[in-house]
Amino acid sequence: MPIQVGQDTSKTRKSLEVNGKTYAYYSIPAAEAAGLGDFSKLPAALKVVLENMLRFEDGKTVSVDDIKAFSDWAANGGKGDRELAYRPARVLMQDFTGVPAVVDLAAMRDGIKALGGDAQKINPLNPVDLVIDHSVMIDEFGNPRAFQMNVDREYERNIERYEFLKWGQSAFNNFRVVPPGTGICHQVNLEYLAQTVWTDADQNGEEVAYPDTLVGTDSHTTMVNGAAVLGWGVGGIEAEAAMLGQPISMLIPEVVGFKLTGEMVEGTTGTDLVLKVVEMLREKGVVGKFVEFYGSGLDNLPLAQRATIANMAPEYGATCGFFPIDDETIRYLDQSGRDKDRIALVEAYAKENGFWRTPDYDPVYTDTLELDMNTIVPAISGPKRPQDYIALDSAAPAFAKFVEGQRAGKESANAEGRWEAEGGAPEPKDIPGDTGNHKKGWYKSDDGAYQLHDGSIVIASITSCTNTSNPYVMIGAGLVARKARELGLNRKPWVKTSLAPGSQVVSDYLEAANLQEDLDAIGFNLVGYGCTTCIGNSGPLEAPISQCINDNDLIATSVLSGNRNFEGRISPDVRANYLASPPLVVAYSLVGDMNVNIATDVIGTDKDGNDVYLKDIWPSNAEIAELVEKTVTRESFQSKYADVFKGDEKWQAVEVNGGETYDWPATSTYVQNPPYFQGMSKDPGVITNIEGAKVLALLGDMITTDHISPAGSFKESTPAGQYLVERQVPVREFNSYGSRRGNHEVMMRGTFANIRIKNEMLDGVEGGYTKGPDGEQTSIYDASMAHQEAGTPLVIFGGEQYGAGSSRDWAAKGTALLGVKAVIAESFERIHRSNLVGMGVIPFEFTGGDTRKTLGLTGEETVSISGLDSVTPLAQVPCSITFADGSTKEITLKCRIDTAIEKEYVEHGGVLHYVLRSLAAS
């Protein structure tokens, strides 16, 4: 489908000839010449948005004043509050967030037919790519069979979802699916899908060149900003609206400039750099802002390392972390197998239209900060947040302090913070053959008996798009494995090791360097191509280890090369999680204990009985660079992506059922027709005041979407588990919440059910519990159903940074389905606030220094919010709180419906209702 550009004016539309082919493009210098403003000092990231305005300027949705506002932004020192209608070029999805999006599209086809409309109007208008990467679990590890067995199990678990996605691929236009076993969506995007400069025919048939832009249903969509592709994560709801042609409403953002100087020193990695960047930007405060990296240090920063920094924008809180186009961008596009004509176009377009980073590049920024890369040291982050940066030589003392805090008041903690087995530690020969004695911290495996304690590392995983996209750290990990193997070192038996690369290209260069054999030798066998441990798909620990941890209330740990380490995310058996570079993940697997100061302590003994230190197995930068140069080739990328949409025999054998609309299988526990559009009227409603609402949950600071949205595994005793048991699904087939995102019945039962969430309405209770209408403790789901049956609206109270973390649309969908009308918090993270609005749930922020604590809230209160029937964006409205003793207090809340279009979304009941009514009416 052609792009629908705005007015074809001679003012800004120009021609560019590259390699004998002519492209139309929208010229920023021409806009300056036409008197629309001075854009010379704009950051490159904002120039991308400006070009979008030039291309879609129609005098209605986008006006000349919108374009002039960018000049005002620069003149005002990087500040502006103009609301824009921004249209990204394409949409990226992964299967966990993509399945419910396709479910919604299928439901919208049913819904539009019920309103008398044409089902074919429900089609993506922009290209959509869905990469299946979130489904593989690490059931099998540490052996040559692991990959194939995990793939087989993945298809067994997920065949209903895969059948549905293949139907979607055949039923919808502009929608492609990258099959399982290919790679992680962000790495596939970086290595293949992204073009830096996109081209398409307009409605007049003329080829137009413009910056590659996208939104994605995963927060780490930002990774591709490393290749100068402006993209960020949005909720699935907002992405669905974008693919259906709705512009994304946004204010001209502030742009923080991050100046990099110097270069990385010997013994440090790109991971060490990004962890320091995360810490600095979190401290700076960049939520809702663009971050753009500039400075002479970029000349020494390979694109793979830029992508690592861009990937973790959600961890430092920014909308995106952007790197301008320069020589390194061109080098990477060539190395990764892009078409030669496209590469030439990228360079010519960037230089012609003011996107090229020159040596004197120094635009206006809202604010700046600076980092000399010479000062970077090896580091990890943890145990609960990505921004909790720890220099490697301080990691062991920091862990001891964490344990001390966890064990405060418990007799089981000694001065070092370690667990002491009751009665002392028995000798291994005394352990019974039935693997008993767990209460003393011991477990028995086939190769001996071992004692676990606080700090035992039970998971060491090279996982996630963040680092497995970077050949420097992956080759580094392989070299650490090689040197360890040569010395006779191996992983500790209690450590579950895994290697899940972000694409098949990684396996290709590890094999070409003969490093995969070394990784295999110490347990880092290939387990699959997908997110795995980083999203909680670490798979179960061995039963004796799990039992030992839980019987002794041990603080077990994990070390992973991912981007997220929130509580309860990685494994239900693990309470402390650390982010580290892939080489450090390998090194920690050899030690198996966070109490060891890996930077300075002995990490093992070689075959001759000599002490081995980390420096003895750490490769030099020159060793790594030599292997990267030799094995990471253009031919490898071209070979691995030649048939990227074809898939293996298993994918090709997946059957497709259904035609224009989906034939919803009544017995499916994976895919169900959601209730959003059933019985929907043709006309929108109005926003009504909230009267007599009860509190469903009273939550603290940094409640992440991992706490809110169903994620990971769940037990038979949970509401979701009971739902499946009632439908004769055995526990072994429960799969994960993420895999069942296409079934609202499972997902609403798992909302706010994270095992580590703490509802302050209850004393010392963890998990998805609250007080029901009768005042007794019950599950949040059951309490919600009881309140809804009585016709009682619900509210949730929270603290700072409510909704931080991944762009999980179910965090908002589940909230809405539980009958929550408002979430009142001290502050919101960007994506979740937008998602709440997209589901018709109104976010409010406290004002005047009020918080749940200063107000003395207990959850027994009744809440009424007025002024909503005439509310305007960002208005302050009155709220009345009636306490359990009958007393009342009036406070003022800030309504976080931020824009006029968001108000319309809420009036319609959500953004998809708005789109559906619009399409039906047309």
Model pLDDT for residues 841-868, shown as the tens digit of each residue: 999 999 999 999 999 999 999 999 999 9
Mean of pLDDT values over 785-789: 97
User: Is residue 878 a part of any domain in this protein?
Assistant: yes
The dihedrals phi and psi of 28, each to the nearest 5 degrees, come to -70, -45
The residue behind tokens 């667990």 is 419
Cα 267 from Cα 270, distance rounded (Å): 11
pLDDT tens digits along 488-498: 999 999 999 99
The CATH number assigned to the domain holding 586 equals: 3.30.499.10
Res 441: pLDDT? 72
The kind and range of the H/E element at 516 are helix 516-521
Phi-psi region of 672 (alpha: psi -120 to 50; beta: other; left: phi over 0): beta
Res 911: pLDDT? 87
Res 532: pLDDT? 66
If one compares 392 and 569, the residue with the highest pLDDT of the two is 392
In terms of domains, do 331 and 406 share one?
no
In terms of domains, do 830 and 904 share one?
yes
In terms of domains, do 403 and 313 share one?
no
Among candidate residues 309, 297, 323, 224, the one with its CA nearest the CA of residue 270: 309
In terms of domains, do 705 and 577 share one?
no
Mean of pLDDT values over 893-906: 92
Neighbouring residues of 637: CB distance < 8 A, sequence distance ≥ 6: 191, 192, 335, 336, 337, 505
Burial class (CB in 10 A: 0-12, 13-18, 19+), 342: middle
Res 217: pLDDT? 85
Cα 429 from Cα 58, distance rounded (Å): 81
The dihedrals phi and psi of 406, each to the nearest 5 degrees, come to -70, -35
CB 254 within 8 A of CB 78: yes
User: Is residue 11 a part of any domain in this protein?
Assistant: no
Q: What percent of the chain has pLDDT over 90?
A: 64
pLDDT tens digits along 668-689: 999 999 999 888 888 888 899 9
427, pLDDT greater than 80: no
Task: Give the Cβ contact number of residue 767 at 10 Å.
Answer: 17
241, pLDDT greater than 50: yes
Among candidate residues 175, 181, 116, the one with its CA nearest the CA of residue 151: 181
> Among residues 350, 375, 400, which one ends one of the domains?
375
Cα 903 from Cα 873, distance rounded (Å): 7
Coil, helix or strand at residue 737? coil
Phi-psi region of 317 (alpha: psi -120 to 50; beta: other; left: phi over 0): left
425, pLDDT greater than 50: no
Mean of pLDDT values over 227-231: 97
The residue behind tokens 């305005």 is 53
**For 107, which DSSP code?**
H
pLDDT tens digits along 100-134: 889 999 999 999 999 988 999 899 989 999 998 77
Mean of pLDDT values over 92-103: 86
Distance of CA 357 to the CA centre of its chain: 29
**For 475, which DSSP code?**
H
In terms of domains, do 371 and 383 share one?
no
Mean of pLDDT values over 169-185: 89
7, pLDDT greater than 60: no
Burial class (CB in 10 A: 0-12, 13-18, 19+), 261: middle
Cα 347 from Cα 332, distance rounded (Å): 12
The CATH number assigned to the domain holding 808 equals: 3.20.19.10
In terms of domains, do 334 and 421 share one?
no
824, pLDDT greater than 80: yes
Which of 248-252, 297-301, 873-877 is predicted with the least confidence, judged by mean pLDDT? 248-252
Res 51: pLDDT? 97
| Confidence category of residue 445, pLDDT binned at 50, 70, 90 | low
Which of 166-175, 358-367, 728-737 is predicted with the least confidence, judged by mean pLDDT? 728-737
The dihedrals phi and psi of 294, each to the nearest 5 degrees, come to -150, 180
Encoding tokens for residue 172?
């919808």
In terms of domains, do 181 and 211 share one?
yes
Cα 586 from Cα 483, distance rounded (Å): 11
Radius of gyration of the chain (CA): 27
436, pLDDT greater than 70: no
CB 377 within 8 A of CB 314: no
One-letter amino acid for residue 777 of the chain: Q
| Confidence category of residue 316, pLDDT binned at 50, 70, 90 | very high
User: Is residue 729 a part of any domain in this protein?
Assistant: no
Cα 343 from Cα 227, distance rounded (Å): 12
Mean of pLDDT values over 460-469: 81
CB 762 within 8 A of CB 771: yes
Cα 486 from Cα 606, distance rounded (Å): 9
Res 500: pLDDT? 87
Q: In terms of DSSP bridges, do strands 367-372 and 604-605 run parallel, antiparallel, or are they unpaired?
A: unpaired
Neighbouring residues of 911: CB distance < 8 A, sequence distance ≥ 6: 237, 238, 240, 241, 246, 837, 838, 905
Coil, helix or strand at residue 726? helix
> Among residues 375, 395, 415, which one ends one of the domains?
375
In terms of domains, do 388 and 332 share one?
no
Which of 309-313, 314-318, 531-535, 766-770 is predicted with the least confidence, judged by mean pLDDT? 531-535
Mean pLDDT of the chain: 89
In terms of domains, do 289 and 409 share one?
no
User: Is residue 415 a part of any domain in this protein?
Assistant: yes
Cα 799 from Cα 824, distance rounded (Å): 8
User: Is residue 59 a part of any domain in this protein?
Assistant: no
Which of 330-344, 368-382, 396-410, 601-615 is predicted with the least confidence, judged by mean pLDDT? 396-410
The residue behind tokens 């100046």 is 259
Res 75: pLDDT? 95
> Among residues 578, 601, 624, which one ends one of the domains?
601
In terms of domains, do 433 and 411 share one?
yes
Encoding tokens for residue 433?
């053959």
Q: What range does the domain containing 542 cover?
A: 379-601
In terms of domains, do 392 and 349 share one?
no
Mean of pLDDT values over 422-432: 32
283, pLDDT greater than 90: yes
800, pLDDT greater than 60: yes
Dihedral, CA of residue 395, residue 398, residue 399 and residue 403, to nearest 10: 180
User: Is residue 234 a part of any domain in this protein?
Assistant: yes
376, pLDDT greater than 80: yes
Coil, helix or strand at residue 557? strand
User: Is residue 618 a part of any domain in this protein?
Assistant: no
If one compares 209 and 562, the residue with the highest pLDDT of the two is 209
Coil, helix or strand at residue 890? strand
pTM (2 d.p.): 0.81
Res 149: pLDDT? 83
User: Is residue 651 a part of any domain in this protein?
Assistant: no
Neighbour-count burial for 285-319, b at 16+ CB within 10 Å, e otherwise: ebbbbbbbbbbebbeebbbbbbbbbbbbbbbbbbb
Q: Count of domains in the chain?
A: 3
| Confidence category of residue 506, pLDDT binned at 50, 70, 90 | confident
Res 410: pLDDT? 46
In terms of domains, do 190 and 276 share one?
yes
If one compares 8 and 824, the residue with the highest pLDDT of the two is 824
